[in-house]
Amino acid sequence: MAEKNSKGIPGERIAKVIARAGLASRREAETWIASGRVSVNGAVISSPALNVTPRDRIVVDGEPLPQRVRTRLFRYHKPRGLVTTHADPEGRPTIFRALPKRLPRLISVGRLDINSEGLLLLTNDGGLARVLELPATGWLRRYRVRAFGRVTQEALDRLREGITVAGIHYGAIEATLDREQGANVWLTMGLREGKNREVRKVLEHLGLRVNRLIRVSYGPFELGPLDDGAVEEVETEDLRKTLGPELATQANADFESPLEHEMPFVPAHHSAAGRKLQSEIQKGPQPPLDSGPRARPRDRNGRKKRRRDRTGGPRPKYPRP
């Protein structure tokens, strides 16, 4: 009997399955499909309007879709000057290039713009990322903001009723005036939608110019003492308890499967380095470069080759005068 989704339709959408495998977000997966990078049962597909089941063979960039692995979540202290994307068309540095290479292939839960810093959640599960981003989840994002200008608490209190700026409506915002510092003010702000550059646009509407923006929490997860640029995994049991059964079910999170190989996934088409990386993953872990003395090369007869100096000639037996 064919497996069915929550609507009674056999299987699940192909982009959703790719996202849950930790390769990309659902939106990225749909782009991959439209580019002809995905095939199902040997046939290249061009539309994400396809349901698949575990019996279907899915291939991305010539590589079989990895088996599903355990859902993982990481807290990352994003520094200023990094873009929250895997590849930036302008060539700016990205958070994913700055992350330690030992981590699995990750996607971000929402974004922080290049001039913002603080807590950014990262996960290997596209389904979890999508659920945590939804305003319906109701998780409060809290920020510490330094802005140039002056504002009253009374004006900030009116943000609780929501505000429309340049035709875009922003929901209720909690804002507190903490202190004045020279020509700047420090604020604490909390919001649940997280629309594009929401804090900056709303404060600009109030006559303030943001010059520092730090996210200090995302729902129950806090930045805490995490160092700038550091990343720390949320333990599986803590993640399970924090999400609760409702969110875990909604995200179809998997806390039982084994952990994936501690290497990032790089689609084979990206570069020769990507293809080499995939080959290394298939071979399994390699010994570290400093695992022991390097063996001297040998000639065809098995004799050790003579070392050569930097000019290409044989290395002298005694130091040159």
The residues annotated as belonging to the active site are: 113
Q: Whole-angstrom Cα distance, residue 202 to residue 172? A: 11
Angle at 82 between CA 227 and CA 276, to 5 degrees: 95
Q: Is 190 exposed, middle or buried (0-12, 13-18, 19+ CB in 10 A)?
A: middle
Rounded to the nearest 5°, which phi and psi values hold at 201?
Answer: -70, -40
Residue of 34, 67, 69, 40 whose CA lies nearest to 52:
40
Q: Whole-angstrom Cα distance, residue 212 to residue 115? A: 8
Structure tokens at 269: 């088409």
* Length of the chain, in residues: 321
**Residues contacting 69, CB < 8 A, separation 6+:** 21, 22, 104, 124, 254, 257, 258, 259, 260
Residue of 105, 134, 107, 109 whose CA lies nearest to 120:
109
Q: Whole-angstrom Cα distance, residue 201 to residue 271? A: 39
In the chain, alpha helices (H)? 14-20, 26-34, 95-98, 126-133, 153-157, 198-205, 236-251, 272-283
**Residue 157: helix, strand or coil by DSSP?**
helix
